[in-house]
Chain A
Amino acid sequence: MNISLNWIKDFVNLDGIDVKDIWHRFTMSAAEVEDVVEKGRDIQNVVVGKVIDVKPHPDSKKLSICLVDTGKEVVQSLCGAPNVKVGIKVPFALAGGSIKKIEKIGKVKVAGEESNGIICSAMEIGISDSHEGVMILPGEFEAGKSIKEYLNIDDIIIEVDNKSITHRPDLWGHYGIAREMAAIFGRRLKKPEIDELPGTSELPGLDIEIRDSNKCSRYCGIEIRDVKGGTTPLDMQIRLYYCGMRPIEPIVDLTNYIMLETGQPMHAFDRRFIEKLVVDSTKEDIVFNTLDGVERKIPPDTLMIYNNDTPVAVAGIMGGENSEISENTMDLFLESASFNGYSTRKSSMLLGLRTEASARFEKSLDPLLPEISIKRFVKLLKEIKSDINITSRLTDIFPVKPAHIEIKIDKPYIDKYIGHSIEDKKIVDILNSLEFSVTQNGDEFNVKVPGFRATRDISIKADLVEEITRIYGYDNIEPETVDVILKPLDFNNVRLTEHKIRDILAINHNINEIHSYVWYDNDFNKRAGIIHDARLKLINPHAKNMDILRNSMVPSMLQAAEGNARFFDEYSIFEIGSIFNIDKKGGECKENKSLCVLLASRTLNEDSLFYKLKSIVSHMIKVLKKIEIDFSEKKPEYVWMHPAKSINIKWEDNILGYISVVHPQICKNIDRKMKFAVMEIDMRKIHALSENEILYEEPSRYPEVYLDFSFLVNSDIPYDKVNEDIEGFKDEILKSLKFIDIYTGKGLPQNKKSMTFRFTIGSSERTLSSGEIDEFTNKLLDYMDKLGYTLR
């Protein structure tokens, strides 16, 4: 919200306080100032000029040659505006001066004619964004005087962060800001002047009925006749413009002005269209044309203003086309009401229509404002047009009176909450300066909350602590260490394990951690040929192609892999991220963490990547849990899994996750030469694994013997089968068995591969004799022979 310092000064004298200090203190005690703009600084040497001659330019259809009386001299200036006429007074920027977009005005020649200074539009002197010809000044302005003597072009505009005043309905107008200033600087606050509407109390009332008093607690209306004519004063126009509103015509401008000043939005109906005004909620969908020319479907339970049965406005949000004021409007039905904050916001959200009015009503405005605002409106309208007629009394339907809030708070509570003692007098002074009334009884303060803070903002003791401390100044509170009871909570082992996994993968295996988005990129999935069965959708994705929450990490990782394929021949990435599932549409989300590792290479073949992942996961789980995991056959579940090269990662009967070469078609779709392999593990399963105990065994005092044997194995027999067969061989002196390598090269019989295993034998009681060793060898080879494995 933009705040004009000139406007603030209508209500509080800030003489002697540096502008910087004003806004610093405001930021430190009230709300955040986002920006400060000095208006008028770039408008220099602009005087009132009188146009005394206008001739067409001989070589230009658009330009005319004007003579302007600047008070001191008469100069020639070229002007392109069609409304320039002899006799008008205009803002005239002298040579050497500055206006918007022209930092220094010089003498120029246009199409052979000299131009000296510029006849300005309102836009050029920064007080409007309409560029409708030159600005015509009132005739009483004296030629030669600085324009700033007549117009308050110089101002300081402060942009207050709207979010920081969400809870302060009282700060949505200049008067409320001025009240804060008065409290912060200890200055006196002047109330806005109002018209007490003398002699109107005997006039007839307007026919107003509130049928839904839950959503409208007060409705004030007044009839004003003969409003046609008159113009919005220039200074009012400048303030409106500086505060972000476009001046339109006096009645609209005035409702806006009052809103910016008091915070209370008002609405002016053309009197001809209102007979009996009814405030009620819609019972069903209706269609209504708002004054912005849009036909809207209004849902049930929306508060509307009706003329009898005909809707004429969406209460607190926007008026209707059918009753808005126009240039033919002679008489007004002026509305100033209290609409419920929650319902206004709800309707505004449902309609997708946010307005200056709804933004204020939704904050829950002071119910005392409607009456004051009407009186202020009349006061200012009379200044614009003195011959208006008030033809009704101020009709005030006020079915729900606001509750008065009183809070009891005691000194020990305040001191404890702050951790710092503030003297009683200071507490009372601060509260009083904010218009809270306080009665003190010993340590106890009885605090009455002013109406403009009582709608939602202040209701409990902690709220008062905030009022006291923010004005007292947070900088004045000394930091103090805490004195608390120690109570250990559960240690977060999940976090510890996650961090360990990150370290293992990064440090031991050279894999880089990345972060990805939790939704699929449908465009990427399509491009890569990824089909998935995720069903949890976002209602309001920021992009249409990103509306589904992922149920696997793999597509996210493949997308990251795609990006890197342009720069690297070989890389590895991982992430521990969330994946999401639902059982049925509309069901609750089941979320869990998943670890995904992706290896990519242009040089290694896909098998190597696959085996590497096997080693990585075995190593990782061994480090974490001291267990040796198993693998088992897997049927591919997802389109990215290789039909033959995928396996489950297993511990006992639990499947922890899987490893798969990425389907060659998908690899190809992503990068012509890149091979990818992935591993995805359910983190819950990892956390559930219990860590193996270390069982210490005394080393044997007698030497162990290593025997390596290479067996010829049919090519189609998998390692698992061979290993299982060998494990079937039992012998008292066999200590351990280990696979060494596989050979498939030259020198082997057809359809055979050679697999080498190491057998470690020994005894804890004696050194083995050569006889014992030979006996073992014979027994083993006999056993293997019977199973069809011959020694190579």
Chain B
Amino acid sequence: MLDRIKALGEGAINEIRASESRQDLEKLRVGLLGKKGELTEILKGLKELDGQMRKEVGREANLLKGKLTRIISQKAEELGQKEVGKSLGMDTGFDFSLPGTELPVGALSPITIVQREIEKIFTGMGFSIVDGPEVEDDFHNFEALNIPEHHPARDMQDTYWLENGQLLRTHTSPCQVRAMFKYGAPLKIIAPGRCFRNENVDASHENTFFQLEGMMIDKNISIANLIYVMKLLLSEVFKRAVKIRLRPGYFPFVEPGFELDLNCLICNGAGCSTCKRSGWIELLPCGMVHPNVLEYANIDPEVYTGFAFGLGLTRLAMMKYGIRDIRVLNSGDLRSLKQFATV
């Protein structure tokens, strides 16, 4: 019996050492140490032996069991390492340069992208965002902005009139009026939105475009403040220091009214085709809120002053992305618009 154990042991150890895979090794283990394994059978048969014999065979068999268990686990470890090593090899067919699974992303309108950026800048400076309707009435679009009926300034805005006497807003300025009525002073708001003017459409003119109106009213707001805030805004928008200049511009709802010119970012003022050789780009109309406009909204112009400005979002988006034809923006043409995949 002891010889049998010894032979079993030698044979088993050789086979274990020679095994080349974890499956082979497992087969061996089951054959030896499993429920019906050879060594297990021997151990099971111990109770049939007597005295001294049982003691000796028992000891040998248990020793062998310990030894085999140890060798198998060593071998298992060794084979495991070999397998990991093998999986790191070059012959697995792995090609890291194959493209990943495509997860397409939709595009946002360039207007949305620019609008959000400016909303972010202004909310960061404590401005609130307000909205207003696209179909407006005469009062909010003109009257309360110091443009009474038969005022020649109405010519500046080719208005779409509706059969019910209302109109498509020609600017986002009515949002100022609504905000002043709703919140009173002090006030810091911006109002981005779609505007309409009955113009002939060509590469640089649209009848439907986006503006962003801004307004700040408080005690002590001055022209110097207006210049400061505009400069800050434009530096943030263009992500660089900018040079600006103000010159007179006429808008009935501000006094004084300004046209703000931006030193051309392409040529730094030297003169190029973008700025029509002038070195300056006419960018945004602005001005000090006309005392009549404050009064209309029941804000005392002797106590409060303010400034307002209108930024052409469409124009800004075109500048930012070098869009030459304004018609692209309302075309719904995905060949153009798909390029503005979400950022």
Binding site for B on A (CB under 8 A): 27-32, 163-168, 341-343, 345-346, 349, 362-363, 416-420, 460-463, 465-466, 469-470, 474-475, 477-492, 494-495, 499, 502-503, 505-507, 509-518, 536-542, 549, 559-560, 563-564, 567-568, 571-573, 578, 580, 582, 585-589, 591
Interchain nearest-CB distance for A348 vs B (Å): 9
Q: Is B96 an interface residue (CB 8 A)?
A: no
10 contacts between A and B (CB under 8 A): A165-B250, A466-B256, A477-B223, A488-B126, A506-B107, A515-B208, A515-B332, A518-B208, A571-B334, A578-B194
Q: Which residues of A contact B216 (CB under 8 A)?
A: 482, 484
- Ordered nearest first, which 10 A-B pairs have the shortest CB separation? A419-B222, A419-B224, A560-B332, A466-B256, A506-B106, A479-B228, A474-B246, A489-B128, A480-B224, A462-B255
CA distance A537 to B135 in the complex (A): 12
Stretch of B17-25, B45-53, B147-155 with 4 or more beta carbons under 8 angstroms from chain A: B147-155
Q: Which residues of B contact A568 (CB under 8 A)?
A: 334
Interchain nearest-CB distance for B225 vs A (Å): 5
CA distance A585 to B165 in the complex (A): 11
Q: Which residues of A contact B161 (CB under 8 A)?
A: 538-540
* B337–A538 touching, CB < 8 Å: no
Interchain nearest-CB distance for B72 vs A (Å): 32
Q: Is B3 an interface residue (CB 8 A)?
A: no
Residue of B nearest to A415 (CB): B222
* A538–B163 touching, CB < 8 Å: yes
Q: Is the interface of B mostly helix, strand, loop or mixed?
A: mixed
Q: Which residues of B contact A484 (CB under 8 A)?
A: 186, 188, 216, 218, 220-221
Q: Per-residue 0/1 for B235-261: is the Cβ within 8 Å of any A Cβ (1 yes, 0 no)?
A: 000000000011111101001111100
* B334–A573 touching, CB < 8 Å: yes
* A589–B164 touching, CB < 8 Å: yes
Q: Which residues of B contact A512 (CB under 8 A)?
A: 106-107, 334, 337-338
Interchain nearest-CB distance for B25 vs A (Å): 32
Within 8 Å by CB of B224, from A349, A479, A516, A586, lies A479
* A539–B163 touching, CB < 8 Å: yes
* B134–A417 touching, CB < 8 Å: no
Within 8 Å by CB of B106, from A166, A341, A511, A580, lies A511
Within 8 Å by CB of B334, from A488, A567, A587, A589, lies A567
* A486–B126 touching, CB < 8 Å: yes
Interchain nearest-CB distance for B51 vs A (Å): 47
Q: Is B94 an interface residue (CB 8 A)?
A: no
Interchain nearest-CB distance for A282 vs B (Å): 17
Q: Which residues of A contact B73 (CB under 8 A)?
A: none
Q: Which residues of B contact A469 (CB under 8 A)?
A: 223, 256
CA distance A486 to B183 in the complex (A): 13
Stretch of B8-16, B75-83, B109-117 with 4 or more beta carbons under 8 angstroms from chain A: B109-117
Q: Is B162 an interface residue (CB 8 A)?
A: yes
Within 8 Å by CB of B168, from A514, A518, A537, A585, lies A518
Within 8 Å by CB of A513, from B107, B156, B225, lies B107
* A477–B227 touching, CB < 8 Å: yes
Q: Which residues of A contact B160 (CB under 8 A)?
A: 538, 540-541
Which B residues between 289 and 343 are near A, CB-CB below 8 angstroms? 290-292, 301, 305, 329-335, 337-338, 341-342
Q: Per-residue 0/1 for B153-177: is the Cβ within 8 Å of any A Cβ (1 yes, 0 no)?
A: 1011000111111101000000000
* A483–B220 touching, CB < 8 Å: yes
Residue of A nearest to B292 (CB): A460
Interchain nearest-CB distance for A150 vs B (Å): 34
Interchain nearest-CB distance for A557 vs B (Å): 8
* A166–B250 touching, CB < 8 Å: yes
Q: Which residues of A contact B259 (CB under 8 A)?
A: 32, 164
CA distance A387 to B105 in the complex (A): 85
Q: Is B40 an interface residue (CB 8 A)?
A: no
* A417–B305 touching, CB < 8 Å: yes
Sort chain B's interface into a size bin: 35 or more
Q: Is B229 an interface residue (CB 8 A)?
A: yes
Q: Is B288 an interface residue (CB 8 A)?
A: yes
Seed contacts A505-B106, A506-B105; 12 additional CB < 8 Å A-B pairs: A32-B249, A416-B220, A480-B225, A484-B188, A484-B218, A485-B186, A495-B129, A507-B106, A510-B104, A515-B330, A515-B332, A538-B161
Q: Is B130 an interface residue (CB 8 A)?
A: yes
Interchain nearest-CB distance for A106 vs B (Å): 32
* A514–B198 touching, CB < 8 Å: no
* B222–A480 touching, CB < 8 Å: yes
* A514–B150 touching, CB < 8 Å: no
* B342–A507 touching, CB < 8 Å: yes
* B129–A420 touching, CB < 8 Å: no
Q: Which residues of B contact A580 (CB under 8 A)?
A: 135
* Given A462-B291, A510-B104, A537-B163; A482-B225 close (CB under 8 Å): yes
CA distance A729 to B100 in the complex (A): 44
Q: Is B138 an interface residue (CB 8 A)?
A: no
Residue of B nearest to A504 (CB): B106
CA distance A343 to B150 in the complex (A): 7
CA distance A475 to B231 in the complex (A): 13
* B109–A166 touching, CB < 8 Å: no
CA distance A59 to B278 in the complex (A): 54
Interchain nearest-CB distance for B237 vs A (Å): 16
Q: Which residues of A contact B150 (CB under 8 A)?
A: 341-343, 345-346, 349, 362
Q: Which residues of B contact A518 (CB under 8 A)?
A: 134, 168, 194, 196, 208
Within 8 Å by CB of B331, from A31, A462, A563, lies A563
Q: Is B108 an interface residue (CB 8 A)?
A: yes
CA distance A50 to B300 in the complex (A): 75
CA distance A567 to B334 in the complex (A): 9
CA distance A468 to B72 in the complex (A): 100
Interchain nearest-CB distance for B264 vs A (Å): 15
Residue of B nearest to A586 (CB): B164
* Given A27-B247, A31-B248, A542-B200; A513-B109 close (CB under 8 Å): yes
